[in-house]
A and B are shown apart, each in its own frame.
Chain A
Amino acid sequence: MTADALPERPAARPIRRSAPRTLGPIRPRWRWVETKLLLIVAAALLVGSVSLSGGLTGALALYDPQTLSVYLAALATGHIAFVLAGRRTDQILLPVMGLLGGISLLLMQRLPQDLVTQHWFGNEVGLAQVQLVWLVLGIAITSVTGIVVRSDSWLRRYKYTWAAAGVGLLLLTFVFGSEVNGQRLTLSIGPFSGQPSEFLKVILVVFLAGYLSENRSLLMEQDTRVGPLRLPPVPYLAPMVAMWAIALGIVVIQRDLGAALLFFGVFLAMLYVATSRVSLVIIGLILFVLGSILMANLFDNVRERFDIWLDPFADPLGSGYQVVQGLHAFARGGLFGVGLGNGLPLINGNIPIPEVHTDFPLAALGEELGLVGVLAILGLYLVLVERGLRIGAAAADDFRALLAVGLALVIGIQAFIIAAGNLKVLPLTGVTLPFISYGGSSIIANSLVVGLLLALSDKGVEPPPPPAERSRWDRLRRRGAA
């Protein structure tokens, strides 16, 4: 059987090698779909900028054209880079991300600039300028990742190393992190600070994709019976659950509910995609509900979040203030919104939602763009996820498929968690709205996700590693095929 299998391999190679293995001679390739979509994005942002100017100053002109042109130039540069690189990658992801980032930029321009101030090279820069830097950096990261990454073996082979790095990152935060609002989320090293959980989510997806693709058949085909439940063999599930429990445990210690929910959701979805086992998802959900009840009983700030969620109007000026003001913002927006720059009435010179730029951007957009705008933004996230899932479904092997699915779901589930928190569907948690919330870690991590998705969408990449380095599953499948 093994001998029969060997001659087949060369036949498969030419297909996989249709694209150049190295950068080699650059062969530019027009991306007309991307060009057209980016032109629409640019037009939408220009209209938005004029509308913002009308709302804030009453003048029908571009609002702060310099900032917007820097952003559009960054998008155009990314696009041209993709054209020049000539890879056959997805043409929809970049425009969608560009529109979300542009909406973020308009929102940050519209908010009071002193919400965030940083001193760079002796200059004081405000909210929109800082966000512009992150957004441009994000486009750069997406482009570089999408163009340069051709092999996935560096992700596939070192999955345990990545997992260890992720856990180490969290431990560092736990020991050296600074506490904000009862949560230890921010890690500061020298002048840099960031939220490690944003990067940890990417690492988690890489690890899960690696582990699940390698052990997929075993998880699917063998059973351990526990009462009426049919579980996969425990030894194969254990390392993954342990990895997940460590990540979740540290997150629990940090009191970062949103990240815990996100990790759990992504974990369950990937587990389901890999095994098709609904029983695992149900067990996971039960465990999650039990864990939530336990956490609500153990930690005061978790219970408070639950209480606020159940009835924010019980204390509309105290603990429920932000959530209530967020709901009021949606209500003021109504169907069509009050227009960019016309919402968020000032009380004593302050905006009604203090954390609007990080936790409540959707509420601000709901007020100024209305339900129509909120639906459009939700639609953009769904398009992102749909592209990612398509990339996964069309992927050449299980690792790439699970990686693409996981990366897409990270963005989709995160957007869901915070949007649901803003609209009182779930308790409010501190995760960011991808590409729209203010914050460097969030934008860079999500840009990396889109970059990896772009790389994975390439129709021709380096072939998988030689057989010796392959997993047991691949060898089994190869034998089975022969």
Chain B
Amino acid sequence: MAGLAGSRHPLGKPIVRVAVALSVAFATIALAGGYWGVAQAPDLTRSPYDAAVIAASRTVPRGRILDRDGRVLAQNKRDANGDLYRVYAGPTISPVVGYASPRYGRAGLERTYDAELSGLAGDPLRDPFRKFRTDPYDPKDLTLSLSYALQRAAARALGTQRGAVVMLDPRTGEILAMASSPYYDANLITDPATAETAFKGLLADPAEPLLPRATLGRYVPGSVFKIVTAIAGLGSGKVTPETTYPQQPAAEKDGLVIDGFTIHDGHHPATGSRALDLVGATEVSCNIWYALTGLATGGDQLTKYAERMGFDAQIPFDLPTAISQVTGGKGSQPGGFSDDVELANAAYGQGETFVTPLQMALVASTIANHGVLMQPHLVTGITGDGGTRTIGPTQMSTVLPVADADSIAVAMRAAVEGDLGQHYTTGAKVPGIPTAGKSGTAELGGTGEPHSWFIGFAPADAPTVAIAVLVENGGRGAEAAAPIAGDMMTLYLKGTTP
């Protein structure tokens, strides 16, 4: 039989070309096979939608979840039919740990680490022969940085109020507590006897207990956002700790007018005609100083520094996070602001700015860790047949120089311990330990009570804990959020509540 290329038939050449074209088409398929079958395999085979992950979850006991002290947060029980179901230590961890139910799916860490917990997450490239074993499952135990004691204390501190507490170690990014209120009892969802009524009830509850507010709630930040403005201003070099504005003392009485919009302050009886610098303005939470700083810094720098701390993107974390924003981003001005009024308002947290409590905890953590933001994480160890894989601290970004961060820390300490500052942050001080922080009172417009915020860290000179507290409609920062933060930091640093 004549070869293709050697054929003298007049059709020979186009036939060869068609053969080449079809070979290229088949090569494309081969590449696609490699892409999905090998390159994408580690992700796909861990996905909660993977049929093997779903199937394994029904037959193989899931791994346990332990807190930082080794306390079991999640384990398995068998129901009357011998089917496995999940049991949790208590309802306060539900917003973090979530649930794994054959009926209602997965949430929280049970969802993120579904493949590890169900035992299928061997890396198919590193361990290609695991699947040939008679028992291919290797359910892994998760160790969390979370402290169950702190988590319960935080939930108790929030009580019946809606809100969130996020507490982390700024040096490592380890989350110590992450409470949301109201919460739900995941045991009722996983227990086959109560699952249906419990889940329907939770879905119908207007308080939205299934919403983990710490990570997925977006709130107006109010004055706690001033720390972001300070970071952007100092980091970009547009302002210094000594910067004062001549128009600031003058405007205290009647307000600062920007393009026809008036910005008010409430502290003029205390500061009089004194021109405030960073420390002074932070101590009394001066809206006008921060509005002017925002304008001096510019929208693009403000957004840029915010983005270094996780704004405008999903925070890389063990749980899904809502995206925090400095501005709606649709405006024509630098950074996406619509005009100077929006920028000036955003600078003290009242523009189109929305943040998650986790995001604000990262802002506090940035200052506490001298300008370097560590990536927040909950899971510190994954233990299976092959031993424990430790997940250590990772740096998320270098946000601003050490000297600038420490200047802001001094100002935040004044906001908690200064003669004037302590009136804005009552209850935030850890007795006997230098404490830094910033309160916030997020005006919502209309007649509703403002959201009460506090972010801070302690000990102020060598921080080991950073915190963000939000109480929905809790009133002024000093009224609701600051005392909770003080109690939590005290509990962590001294082992008891005052």
Contacts and interface: CB of A to CB of B under 8 A. Distances in A.
Interface in B1-36: 1-4, 7, 9, 11-19, 21-23, 25-26, 28-30, 32-36
B38 interface: yes
A285 to B, nearest CB: 12
Contacts of B14: 272-274, 276
**Interface residue SS majority, chain B:** helix
B44 A331 contact: yes
B131 A401 contact: no
A272 B18 contact: yes
A134 interface: no
Nearest to A321: B49
A272 B21 CA distance: 12
A30 B215 CA distance: 76
A126 interface: no
A424 B128 contact: no
B18 A273 contact: yes
Contacts of B11: 273-274, 392-393, 398, 401-402, 405
A393 B2 contact: yes
A460 B131 CA distance: 53
Given A344-B51, A345-B51, A394-B1, A375 B15 contact: no
Nearest to B29: A419
Contact of B22 (A276, A330, A409, A419): A409
Nearest to A334: B124
Q: How large is the interface on B (under 10, 10 to 19, 20 to 34, 35 or more residues)?
A: 35 or more
Interface in A288-335: 316-317, 324-325, 327-335
Interface residues of A, number: 58
B45 interface: yes
A84 interface: no
A268 to B, nearest CB: 10
B41 A425 contact: no
Contact of B9 (A329, A393, A412): A393
B51 A347 contact: yes
Contacts of B7: 393-394
A352 interface: yes
A333 B37 contact: yes
B132 A339 contact: yes
B254 interface: no
Contacts of B44: 327-328, 331-332
A385 B19 contact: yes
A338 interface: yes
A328 B43 CA distance: 10
B51 A420 contact: no
Nearest to B124: A334
A391 B54 CA distance: 50
Nearest to A278: B17
B29 A416 contact: yes
A366 B37 contact: yes
Contacts of B17: 272
Given A273-B15, A405-B15, A416 B128 contact: no
**From A331, A345, A370, A412, residue with most partner B Cβ within 10 Å:** A331
Contacts of A401: 9, 11, 15
Contacts of A342: 131
B37 A385 contact: no
Given A366-B37, A409-B18, A420 B52 contact: no
B196 interface: no
Contacts of B45: 328, 331-332
B18 A395 contact: no
A405 B36 CA distance: 32
Contact of A425 (B28, B40, B54, B125): B28
Contacts of A395: 9
A390 interface: yes
Contacts of B38: 334-335, 371
Given A392-B15, A402-B11, A324 B49 contact: yes
Interface of A: 269, 272-274, 276, 316-317, 324-325, 327-336, 338-339, 342, 344-347, 352, 366, 370-371, 374-375, 378, 381-382, 385-386, 389-395, 398, 401-402, 405, 409, 412-413, 416, 419-420, 423-425, 457
Given A401-B11, A423-B33, A425-B32, 16 more contacts: A273-B14, A324-B49, A328-B52, A330-B41, A331-B43, A331-B45, A332-B45, A345-B55, A352-B51, A371-B33, A374-B37, A390-B4, A394-B2, A394-B9, A398-B11, A423-B32
Interface of B: 1-4, 7, 9, 11-19, 21-23, 25-26, 28-30, 32-38, 40-41, 43-45, 47, 49-52, 54-56, 124-125, 128, 131-132
